[in-house]
Amino acid sequence: MTALLTILVLVFIAIAIWQMVKIFDLAQVGTSNSQVATDKDNTLNGYLMIGFLAFIYLITIWSVVELGDLPLMSNSASAHGPEVDNLMMISMVLIFIVQTITQFLLHYFAYKYKGEKGKKALFFADNNTLEFIWTIIPVIVLAGLIIYGLFTWSDIMNVNEDDDPLVVELYAQQFNWKARYGGADNTLGKANVRLIDIDRANILGLDEADPNAQDDVITSELHLPVGRTVLFKMRSQDVLHSAYMPHFRAQMNCVPGMITQFGFTPTVTTADMRQNPDMIDKVANINNIRVEKSKKLIAKGEEALERYDFDYLLLCNKICGKSHYNMQMKIIVETQEEYDAWMKEQKAFKNSLIN
Amino acid sequence: MSAHADTHDHEAHEEHHHKETFVTKYIFSQDHKMIAKQYLVTGTIMGVIGVIMSLMFRMQIAWPEEPNVIFEALLGKWAPGGVMDADIYLALVTIHGTIMVFFVLTAGLSGTFSNLLIPLQIGARDMASGFLNMVSYWLFFISCVIMLGSIFVEAGPAAAGWTIYPPLSALPMAQGGSGMGMTLWLVSMAIFIASSLLGSLNYIVTVINLRTKGMSMTRLPLTIWAFFITAVIGVVSFPVLLSAALLLIMDRSFGTSFFLSDIFIQGEVLHYQGGSPVLFEHLFWFLGHPEVYIVILPAMGLVSEIMATNSRKPIFGYRAMIASILAIAFLSTIVWGHHMFISGMNPFLGSVFTFTTLLIAIPSAVKAFNWITTIWKGNIQMNPAMLFSIGFVSTFITGGLTGIILGDSALDINVHDTYFVIAHFHLVMGISALYGMFAGIYHWYPKMFGRMLNKNLGYIHFWITAICAYGVFFPMHFIGMAGLPRRYYTNSNFPLFDDLANTNVIITIFALIGGAVQLIYLYNFFSSMFFGKKAEKNPWRATTLEWTTEVKHVHGNWIGDIPHVYRWSYDYSKPGHDVDFIPQNVPLKEGEEELQH
């Protein structure tokens, strides 16, 4: 019944708008019979063009001031992060300049050359010099961006295996993450989803016969020692997922049937990041919002929201089904000692099996 | 070529005497003008549905998991107690994307204006094959019906995103929508592709063979160039999507393993072995990327034509405009990998695709600057079509510029699949193409329906839409840069994003206003069909051939002989003439030079 009523209300609103437009439409009869723009229309819309240019500038300024404070964007936590951020900043500034100038020219010309009866436009069909200029300028600018971008990209994607990186497997399934460490030998044992044996708690399908697999460690939280290069090997057991670690400027899809990889070096521990002034501000702001929200929830008789504390996160960023919006894993970057201590508490694979 | 046109004359005259019934005139019509109108009306209806879906999921994002009577009314069992279900959220996102990209901006835009303008502007009696043209429309209609039908499937419509990446789209146990809903999606798209191919072949053949005497390729209006190249891109790339869809159907129904391997889901290992989802991504984006140019090139053509007419100036750099269309078309087929930088493909490929992708900025920049120069020192007639054209250039620049970031593999890592991407492509191909479509409708409405659209309603429509479009998509870049992933049903599980909630509310409010304003347009569109002011033969004082035909539609377009063409289509404000436009069928004066660039 409510459904029917709601549809009726929506239909009535639509009809009301329709009728109002109709009244407006009918009210104009006699004022101007021509549906082709007159000088009056040209003038009015010419001024509106300037108004719209102002609107574009205002929404840009508002967005930069209100939303442009992006601690995530300026405080990267990986070794390659600053390089990415730098390239991003250069691209952004460039875009901003081009945007400001071209939007100005477009809307200003539209205003300046608004039509008048009896005026004649300039017959100006071609100019090779002008066209050459605005072909060659983008060529030069883009050449610079492409070269910078490609160097950055190959830096990021080529993980130097000589650095003895910590090898960690990220394992994705609907809808959670697991991490697998190579243990003392830092070598991951062979695995395939066909070997999964839920009854024996072999949830990632490790090859029980593989000696390398015996000391592997499977966890639900991702701990990383600061300053050591990590090489992630990604696997998925069911559908595509994407391991997105925005704070580290890192992302790679997890593809069933193949192993993908991404490497980076975390440079800031979770504890240090929590002390970062930008982050303190952001967290305080978020907690204010959460307190406000909690008041409303409590009034409705629901539970209040928990206090938020900063943590690095791994998010799923490839549509993977119903609970895609809640597929996450906490990442903790800590000192080597803290990491070693944590690792000691974890169970090795051979000890975690149920016989 | 022109000889063809002359022999065609005779046949068309014969055809003219055929008696028409209601069915042959309005339903199974083979007349390109009627087919264009059929495409337009069908596209409009699909557009309304697509927009309503987007408003629903925008409301969910702004006010997550809150009961909403509209959801309860429209979604029924998918919104128990008025709270939207997470599965249907993904379905809405998926179907919205599919409808808008394919059914509105490909069929609705290209289908309408290619059909309407190709014969009229090149001086042909009709399309090369009227019958194939009719079949093309009806296949499109069937695919629309199947797509809309899939919404009512018990387990829900397709919900794997409009890119339908397997295995999510291949396994019914991975997601409710991947059962019958996905089957219908694939069938609908296969029929759609057949329709699109028939249409494209027809456009190509018509442009090559049926141009009137004097209409050389370099005298063609830019609209025709755009439709022609668009059709070529379609013929090259749509079959690849068809093959991807067929292989996916085989994986789903016949147990093959093209895209699937090593899958453990819901407690069991599936038999698939040796396939790769990455292969599907390659096949999908081999169409998927050219597809955005299939959407935007016709809009560019329409805008070029409308800007020249309303600025009373020739389009600036006619040859450069054609060259940039060709360059974009060529590059569009070798950049698909920029959707896959982090798909797991070889990073070296990423480098190659970064290079080719950023190259597209060059012809795009040439086009943008040429449009700006076209209006410079013009005598701009601010008709609604002109406003939408200027709006097109504005959003094309704003949206296009951020492509420099997304096309750069190193930067894409961190903004891939976030709201930054949504903001980018909605501005550069969604809103821009819609503006191009609106501009075309306001401009050629008199040609289609013999009546004028109300200009004041057009002004209101444009200005509010323009403000809302920026209001929705500009702030979206920033929430994307804050790391918010797309296709999240709610962000409440991530306190990290709590400070973006207000921005999402603002965006949704702009979207709701922008959506409501389209009612003004719909009113204008449908009521002007019957009550609009009767159109003159050439209301915008344009030079192209379609304005030499009678207002009332006749079979064969011209009652007498087909006009011959003596000049290019941009003789606006030419020195040495009293009027500020000289139609293409007016012979050169004695001693007059054909200025053509």
What lies within 8 Å, CB to CB, of A312 at 6+ separation is: A77, A245, A247, A248, A270, A273, A330, A331, A332, A333
Question: Among A21-25, A191-195, B535-539, which stretch is predicted with the lowest mean pLDDT?
Answer: A21-25
Residues of A in contact with B354 (CB under 8 A): 146, 149-150, 153
Q: Residue B5's pLDDT band (boundaries 50, 70, 90)?
A: very low
DSSP for B80-147 reads GGGPPPHHHHHHHHHHHHHIIIIIIIIIIIIIHHHHHHHHHHHT-SS-S-HHHHHHHHHHHHHHHHHH
A61-68 average pLDDT score: 87
Is residue A36 left, alpha or beta, with left meaning phi > 0 and alpha meaning psi from -120 to 50?
A: beta
Is residue B156 included in any domain, yes or no?
yes
pLDDT in tens, B379-410: 999 999 999 999 999 999 999 999 999 999 99
Count of all residues that appear for chain B in the document:
597
Instruction: Find the Cα–Cα–Cα–Cα dihedral B561, B562, B563, B564, rounded to 10°.
Output: -110
Is A97 within 8 Å of chain B by CB? Answer: no
State the average pLDDT over residues A173-200. 92
Cα dist from B27 to B130, B203, B278, B469, whole Å: 13, 21, 43, 36
Q: Using the structure block, give the residue that is written with the tokens 């082709």.
A: A36
Whether B376 contacts chain A with CB within 8 A: yes
Q: Is residue B577 a part of any domain in this protein?
A: no
CA atoms within 13 A on the CB side of B403: 28
Q: Are B299 and B437 in contact (CB under 8 A)?
A: yes
For B37-69, the pLDDT digits (tens) are 999 999 999 999 999 999 999 999 999 988 888
Average pLDDT, chain A: 90
Digit-coded pLDDT (tens) for B472-497 = 999 999 999 999 999 999 999 999 99
Report helix, strand or coil for A172. strand
Neighbours of A82 (CB within 10 A): 14
Question: A240 vs B168: CB contact, 8 Å cut-off?
Answer: yes
Please indicate if any CB of chain B lies within 8 Å of the CB of A101: no
Which residue among A95, A239, A242 sits closest to B404, beta carbon to beta carbon? A95
Neighbours of A276 (CB within 10 A): 17
Structure tokens belonging to residue B240: 């690849």
Q: Please check whether residue B503 lies inside any domain of the structure.
A: yes
Instruction: Please check whether residue B279 touches A, CB under 8 A.
Output: no
**Mutation site for B-interface testing, chosen from A55, A67, A136, A303 by largest number of B Cβ within 10 Å:** A67
pLDDT at B12 over 60: no
Dihedrals φ, ψ of A219, to 5°? -135, 165
Interface test with A, best of B413, B451, B541 (most A CBs within 10 A): B413
Please give the backbone phi and psi of residue A100, each rounded to the nearest 5 degrees, phi first: -60, -45
With CB atoms and an 8 Å threshold, state whether A114 touches B382: yes
- Token pair 């990423």 in the structure block, residue: B350
State yes or no: pLDDT of A198 exceeds 60: yes
Token digits of residue B362: 């060059």
CB pairs under 8 A between A and B: 418
**Residue B547 pLDDT grade (very low, low, confident, very high; cuts 50, 70, 90):** very high
Hey, of B380, B389, B534, which one would you mutate to test binding to chain A, going by the most A CBs within 10 A of its CB? Answer: B380
- Integer angstrom CA distances of residue A224 from A160, A232, A268, A355, B11: 18, 11, 10, 31, 79
Interface test with A, best of B278, B404, B506 (most A CBs within 10 A): B404
Interface of B with A in 202-221 (CB under 8 A): none
Residues of A in Cβ contact (< 8 Å) with B512: none
Q: Which of A22, A48, A106 sits opposite B372 (nearest CB)?
A: A106
Which residue of chain A has the CA closest to B458?
A35
Residues from chain A that touch B382, judged by Cβ atoms under 8 A, are 37, 41-42, 44-46, 114-115
Is there a domain that residue B564 lies in? Answer: no
Say what the pLDDT of residue B93 is.
Answer: 96
Q: Sorting pLDDT into bands at 50, 70 and 90, what band is B197?
A: very high
Who among B405, B466, B483 is closest to A88 (CB)?
A: B405
Which residue range is the domain that position B236 belongs to? 2-548
Query: Distance, in angstroms, between B76 CA and closest chain A CA?
Result: 8
Alpha-carbon distance A84 to B347, whole Å? Answer: 16
Q: What is the phi/psi pair of residue A311, to 5°?
A: -145, 145
pLDDT attached to residue A18: 80
Instruction: With beta carbons less than 8 A apart as the criterion, state whether B419 and B479 touch.
Output: yes
From the list A209, A219, A156, the residue with the least C-alpha distance to A182 is: A219
Residue by residue, DSSP assigns B13-37 as HHHHTS---HIIIIIS---HHHHHH
Task: Give the pLDDT band (50/70/90) at residue B8.
Answer: very low
Across the interface, do A120 and B312 touch by the CB < 8 Å criterion?
Answer: yes
Q: What is the mean pLDDT of chain B?
A: 92
Q: At A18, list the tokens.
A: 């329709």
What pLDDT does residue A253 have?
96
Q: Do B167 and A88 touch (CB under 8 A)?
A: no
Please tell me the distance from the alpha carbon of residue B223 to that of residue B432, in angstroms, as a whole number: 16
* Average pLDDT of the residues in A139-159: 91
Could you tell me the CA-to-CA distances from A310 to A276, A314, A329, B482, B586 in Å, in that order?
10, 13, 13, 15, 73
Q: For residue B17, is it within any domain?
A: yes
**In this predicted model, what pLDDT tens digit does every residue of A271-289 receive, in sequence order?**
999 999 888 999 999 999 9
Q: CATH number for the domain including B483?
A: 1.20.210.10
For residue B489, give every residue at least 6 positions away whose Cβ sits within 8 Å of its Cβ, in sequence order, or none.
Answer: A324, A325, B60, B64, B84, B86, B89, B90
Burial class (CB in 10 A: 0-12, 13-18, 19+), B335: buried
Distance CA B415, CA A34 (A): 49
Residue at B557 is within a domain: no
Q: How confident is the model at residue A11 (pLDDT cuts 50, 70, 90)?
A: confident
DSSP code of residue A185: G
**What value does the mean pLDDT take over residues A149-171?**
90
Name the residue among A6, A244, A282 with its Cβ closest to that of B70: A6
CB neighbour list of residue B596: distance below 8 Å, 6 or more residues apart: A125, B218, B219, B318, B567, B568
pLDDT band at residue B306 under the 50/70/90 scheme:
very high
- B 307-326 residues with CB below 8 A of A? 311-320
Query: How many domains is chain B built from?
Result: 1
Q: Give the separation between CA B533 and CA B452, rounded to whole angstroms.
A: 5
List, as ranges, residues 115-144 from A with C-beta within 8 Å of B: 115-116, 119-127, 130-131, 134-135, 138-139, 142
Over residues A191-199, the mean pLDDT reads: 92
Q: All domains of chain A, ordered by start, with CATH?
A: 161-272+306-352 (2.60.40.420)
List helix spans (H) across B211-314.
222-253, 277-311
CB contact under 8 A, A120 and B418: no
Mean pLDDT, residues B2-18: 47
Chain A: residue nearest B368 by CA? A102
A178: left (phi over 0), alpha (psi -120 to 50) or beta: beta
pLDDT at A71: 62
Q: Do the chains contact at A237 and B265, CB–CB below 8 Å?
A: yes
Interacting residues of A302 by C-beta distance below 8 A, sequence separation 6+ = none
DSSP structure string for B406-453: HTSHHHHHHHTTBHHHHHHHIIIIIIHHHHHHHHHHHHHHHHHHSBPP
* Residue A193 to residue B269, Cβ atoms within 8 A: yes
Contact list, A290 vs chain B (CB under 8 Å): 495, 498
Q: Inter-chain contact B358–A145, Cβ cutoff 8 Å?
A: yes
CB contact under 8 A, A37 and B167: no
Return the closest-CA partner of residue A237 out of A318, A174, A188, A323: A174
Q: What is the tens place of the pLDDT at every residue in B223-251? A: 999 999 999 999 999 999 999 999 999 99
**What was the ipTM of the complex prediction?**
0.93
pLDDT, tens only, A71-113: 666 789 999 999 999 999 999 999 999 999 999 999 999 999 9
| Gap between the Cα atoms of B381 and B572, Å rounded | 13
Full-model pTM: 0.93
DSSP β-ladder status, A166-173 and A250-254: unpaired
Cβ–Cβ contact A223 with B under 8 A: no
pLDDT of residue A164: 87
Question: How many alpha carbons fall within 13 Å on the CB side of residue A347?
Answer: 9
Q: Which region among A160-174, B438-452, B500-514 has the lowest average model confidence (pLDDT)?
A: A160-174
Q: Is B260 on the interface with A (CB under 8 A)?
A: yes
pLDDT tier for residue B597 given thresholds of 50, 70 and 90 = low
Q: Are B140 and B188 in contact (CB under 8 A)?
A: no
For residue B280, which amino acid is it?
F
Return the pLDDT at A33: 65
pLDDT digits (tens, 9 = 90+) for B269-285: 999 999 999 999 999 99
Domain assignment present for B255: yes
B573: in domain: no
Question: Do B233 and B329 meet the contact criterion of CB atoms below 8 Å apart?
Answer: yes
DSSP state of A219: E
pLDDT at B9: 47
Compute CA distances A256 → A192, A241, A253, B274, B275, whole Å: 10, 9, 10, 10, 9
* Cβ–Cβ below 8 Å for A107 and B527: no
C-alpha span between B429 and B433 (Å, rounded): 5
Q: Give yes or no for B592 touching A (CB within 8 A).
A: no
CA distance A242 to chain B (A): 8
The CA-CA-CA angle for residues B87, B88, B89, to 5°, reads 90
Contacts of B420 in chain A (CB under 8 A): none
